[in-house]
Structure 1
Amino acid sequence: MNRNSLWSLRLGFSNNQASAIENLGIEKFLEQSLQVPFDKNIPAFLESSPKTYADLKEMRQKAKESDVEGKRKLLKESNDINLDMKSWWIDKMLNDEFPLKEKMVCFWHNHYVATYQKIKVNYWVFQHNQILREHAFGNFKELTKQIVQSNAVIRYLDNNENKKGKINENLSRELLELFTIGIGNYTEEDIQNGAKGLAGLGIGEDKATYHKKDEDNDPIVYFGKKGVFKIDQMIDIIFEQKNIPYFITRKILKWFIYDSPNEKLVTHYGDYFRSVNFEIKPLLIKIFTEEFDKNTAGSKIKNPLEYSLQLISELNIDIKNNNYLANFIRQQNMDLFNQPNVKGWDGGKSWLSSQMYLQRNNLLYVLTSGKVLNQKNLNDPSKMDGTKMDSNKMDDTKMKQTPVHLDWNKGDNKQIIAQLSNRLLFQVDETSQKDFESILKYDFDENAKNADQAVLRLFTNMIKLPEFQLI
């Protein structure tokens, strides 16, 4: 098994960085990955999306005055922009030279959940995503301060409804339970008093701001400290708590390496995280360099992004439109910008229900067949087992084709089997070896006209195995 391929997939979404890891070494590779600049540019598709609170009120008024058809059109336009944003993000994951930043943004995206489905303002969702990108490798405490004061989080967790005399505890609770220290490390009184400290923190022009008429300025007791505390002071107090580092180090280990991380590792890295004052960059370097030399392959189920982007990379497919890939990922319950609830995607075994496994094989068939990726052939159940399509359902002769090219080094059948299994990251047992040799036979001619198709057939059968679902 190729360790560099394993870590290329763990620190990105494909095998594309394997040679860089091998040539640079893991430490220098990480150094370059962690220096990727922050792109401040606003994508063109957001041009018509409301950006200020005044823009939003104007759009709402327009919707209020519109007839049913007008309302439907405005909703479609907003949903189309959101799909464009998903495609834009997938493009960055596919094409960035060092995709570790986007993988870390996706981690934070699932940590500080704020969905478009509830927020309904694409620009605020984009701002949320950009805060995560700007601070992806920065300081955990500073990132928490920035993201909690985003309009997206305020809207998603209803803090715009949190006012003196009419307290809403949603943000106060999730700040502790899901963003920082986790269940069991705070009291209900901390939540109630925290909500008072957050009262009046509402939607602002560029970020959340306190509205004086809604503030509660009475002294509160928060984690044993008494005073008039606002959001920044509250987060400072939270980060003084004993258990603050372990909740996040456990989640980082789960995201990158282990579906069930050892608690000794969680404590080991958590203690270090506290010692570097919650700086994310040194924590990641320590985790990745220390875990790199361990035999950890197969300790995590691939999420839908890792599965699909690895396939596209292996097959050297030029995706012209990522919208359909975004929809496949949505089918796999990993809808970008739209997690199922405030806890985010569960990960682990939840990625591999029987239905999801069939959908993955469906995507595999579509891609290896060279079919243009579109929603119709993604949804066609006749492809879930790789069988030929019914001509009544879809005319293959009229479907456009997209070039598919699998890279492989010439050799005999056993050498090619070893090469692909090494790259695709699983051990071949005796039974699998015999199965593979029945597909790519002992008399395989590497120079034959159909050699590429034969190796692609072997590749397809390897991908179908349960082992390929692991990383």
Structure 2
Amino acid sequence: MHPNSLWSLRLGFSNKEAQKIETLGFKRFLEVAFNSKVDDSIPSFLNESPKTLEELKTIRQQLKTQSADEAKDLRLKENQVSQEMKIWWIEKMRSDEFPLREKMTCFWHNHYVSTFQKVKVNHWIFQHNQILRTHAFGNFKTLTKEVLKSNAMVRYLDNVDNRKGKINENLSRELLELFTLGIGNYTEEDIKNGAKGLAGLGLGETKAMYRKFQQDNDVITYFGQEGMFKADELIDIIFEQKAAPYLITRKLLKWFLYDVPSEELVTYYGDYLRKVDFEIQPLLQKIFTEEYAKNTAGSKIKDPLVYVLQLQNELQIDKINPRLLHAFLKMQGMDLFGQPNVKGWNGGKEWLSSQVYLQRNNVADLMCNGKGLGRNNQKEDNEMMQNKSGKQSAVALKFDASGTNKTIITELQNRLLFQADAEMQTDFETLLKYDFNPKSEGAENAVLRLFNEMVKRPEFQLI
């Protein structure tokens, strides 16, 4: 089992970076990945969507004067833009040369949840996503401040309804419970007083802003400190608390390495995060390089993104309809910009329910057969699957054509990151018999049948 393939999957979404890790060396590979550039241009699918409060007000006025059908069309158009944004992001994950930044953006996306269904303004959701991308390897405290002042977050967690004399505690509560400290490390009084400090922080032209007549300027007590604190000061105080580093280090270990990280590791890396003043890049550098040296294979269940993009990469499917990839992710419970609630996707064992496992096996069949994901539509199948030669409905699986049945089985096992026990080995050798000739006509189909059998095994679901 090759560690470079394992870490290519962990730091991206497929095996495609394994050769770069091999060539550059792991530490240099990480440096290059950390220094990847952020494209700050606004995608064309957002051209017609409202970008300022003024534009939003104009559209709302239009809705009042339009017929029910016209209003429905306008809403439908924005829903379609939301779908385009999901597809845009899947393509970024799939095609970026060093996808660690997208992997980390996806981590933050599931930490600071904000969905289109609730926010309803695509540009704000895009801005929120760009904040996460820009600060992906930056400072955790700074990122928390930026997210808290995004239009998407104040809308998603109802801080637009939080004003003096009519306090809404949602944002204050989740800031402590889900974003920073975790349950048991704050009091209900801290939530109430934090909500007062956040009162009046509402929608602004480009980001959230305090409204003079809605903010609460009372002196509050927050974690034992007294003052007239606003968003940034509240966050500064939170990050002085003893528990500040551990929630995020536990989640990072779960995202990249272990479904059940040991408390010893959570504390060890959390202590280091505090030491480097909540800078994420040195923490990730330390986690990745130290855990790389250990035998950690099989410690985590693949999420649907890694599962389907690894299959696509192994089968060398250059062109794949991203809409069908999105449909698969949604079916598996990993809808981008559409988590079920503020806690996000739980991951772990939830990625391997019997229904999810069955869906994955069905998709493996379809992809190995060069057919579309989940729809019986010949036109979409043909659009979706094209190999390098441009032939329709074709896949190409690499294997050593000078090998034997046993060496090919071992080669695929190493790429797919699991070891076969004696019974499994017998099953594989039944599929690819001892007298198998890898140069014979139809040899590729025989190896593809073996590959399809391997990726349906529970072992392939692990990373």
Which TM-score bucket, shorter chain as reference? over 0.9
Shift of 1:376: 3.9
What secondary structure does 1:338 align onto? coil
Q: Which residue of 2 aligns with 1:422?
A: 414
Q: Which residue of 2 aligns with 1:86?
A: 86
Q: 1:40-439, aligned counterparts within 5 Å?
A: 40-373=40-373, 375-376=375-376, 401-410=392-401, 411-439=403-431
Q: Which residue of 1 aligns with 2:386?
A: none
1:464 aligns with 2:445: no
**Which letter does structure 1 place at the counterpart of 2:295?**
N
Q: TM-score, normalised by structure 2?
A: 0.96
Please tell me whether the aligned partners of residues 193 and 221 of structure 2 are also in contact (alpha carbons under 8 angstroms). Answer: yes
What secondary structure does 1:55 align onto? helix
Q: TM-score, normalised by structure 1?
A: 0.94
Q: How far, CA to CA, are the matches of 1:446 and 1:229 in structure 2?
A: 71
**Which letter does structure 1 place at the counterpart of 2:175?**
L
Please tell me whether the aligned partners of residues 119 and 125 of structure 1 are also in contact (alpha carbons under 8 angstroms). Answer: yes
Q: In the TM superposition, what whole-angstrom CA distance separates every residue of 1:81-119 from its partner, at most 9, and x where no partner exists?
A: 111111111111111111110000000000000011101
- The structure-2 alpha-carbon separation of the partners of 1:55 and 1:376, relative to structure 1 and needing over 3 Å to count, comes to farther
Please tell me whether the aligned partners of residues 366 and 377 of structure 1 are also in contact (alpha carbons under 8 angstroms). Answer: no
The count of residues paired between Structure 1 and Structure 2 equals 450
What secondary structure does 2:428 align onto? helix
Please tell me whether the aligned partners of residues 12 and 103 of structure 1 are also in contact (alpha carbons under 8 angstroms). Answer: yes
Shift of 1:363: 1.1
Q: How far, CA to CA, are the matches of 1:319 and 1:23 in structure 2?
A: 27
In terms of mean alpha carbon deviation, does 167-176 or 51-60 score higher? 51-60
**Which letter does structure 2 place at the counterpart of 1:91?**
E
Q: Which residue of 1 aligns with 2:436?
A: 444
Q: In the TM superposition, what whole-angstrom CA distance separates every residue of 1:54-90 from its partner, at most 9, and x where no partner exists?
A: 1111122222322222122112211111111111111
Shift of 1:374: 5.9
Q: In the TM superposition, what whole-angstrom CA distance separates every residue of 1:194-247 from its partner, at most 9, and x where no partner exists?
A: 000000000000000000010100100011000100000110010000110001
- The structure-2 alpha-carbon separation of the partners of 1:55 and 1:374, relative to structure 1 and needing over 3 Å to count, comes to farther
In terms of mean alpha carbon deviation, does 170-179 or 405-414 score higher? 405-414
Please tell me whether the aligned partners of residues 160 and 202 of structure 1 are also in contact (alpha carbons under 8 angstroms). Answer: yes
Shift of 1:406: 0.9
What secondary structure does 1:226 align onto? strand
In terms of mean alpha carbon deviation, does 162-171 or 312-321 score higher? 312-321
Q: Unpaired segments of 5 or more residues in structure 2? A: 379-390
Q: Unpaired segments of 5 or more residues in structure 1? A: 379-399
Q: Which residue of 2 aligns with 1:390?
A: none
In terms of mean alpha carbon deviation, does 117-126 or 59-68 score higher? 59-68
Q: In the TM superposition, what whole-angstrom CA distance separates every residue of 1:325-384 from its partner, at most 9, and x where no partner exists?
A: 111100100000010000000000011111111111111111111114464469xxxxxx
Q: How far, CA to CA, are the matches of 1:242 and 1:263 in structure 2?
A: 15
What secondary structure does 1:212 align onto? coil
Q: In the TM superposition, what whole-angstrom CA distance separates every residue of 1:383-414 from its partner, at most 9, and x where no partner exists?
A: xxxxxxxxxxxxxxxxx943311111121100
Please tell me whether the aligned partners of residues 368 and 460 of structure 1 are also in contact (alpha carbons under 8 angstroms). Answer: yes
Q: Which residue of 1 aligns with 2:387?
A: none
Shift of 1:177: 0.4
Please tell me whether the aligned partners of residues 371 and 401 of structure 1 are also in contact (alpha carbons under 8 angstroms). Answer: no
Please tell me whether the aligned partners of residues 372 and 401 of structure 1 are also in contact (alpha carbons under 8 angstroms). Answer: no
What secondary structure does 1:85 align onto? helix
**Which letter does structure 2 place at the counterpart of 1:425?**
L
Please tell me whether the aligned partners of residues 328 and 373 of structure 2 are also in contact (alpha carbons under 8 angstroms). Answer: no
**Which letter does structure 1 place at the counterpart of 2:248?**
I
Q: Which residue of 2 aligns with 1:6?
A: 6
Shift of 1:320: 4.4
What secondary structure does 2:213 align onto? helix
Please tell me whether the aligned partners of residues 317 and 402 of structure 1 are also in contact (alpha carbons under 8 angstroms). Answer: no
Q: In the TM superposition, what whole-angstrom CA distance separates every residue of 1:246-293 from its partner, at most 9, and x where no partner exists?
A: 010000000000000000000000000000000000000000000001
What secondary structure does 1:160 align onto? helix
Q: How far, CA to CA, are the matches of 2:150 and 2:74 in structure 1?
A: 24
**Which letter does structure 2 place at the counterpart of 1:114?**
S
**Which letter does structure 2 place at the counterpart of 1:261?**
P
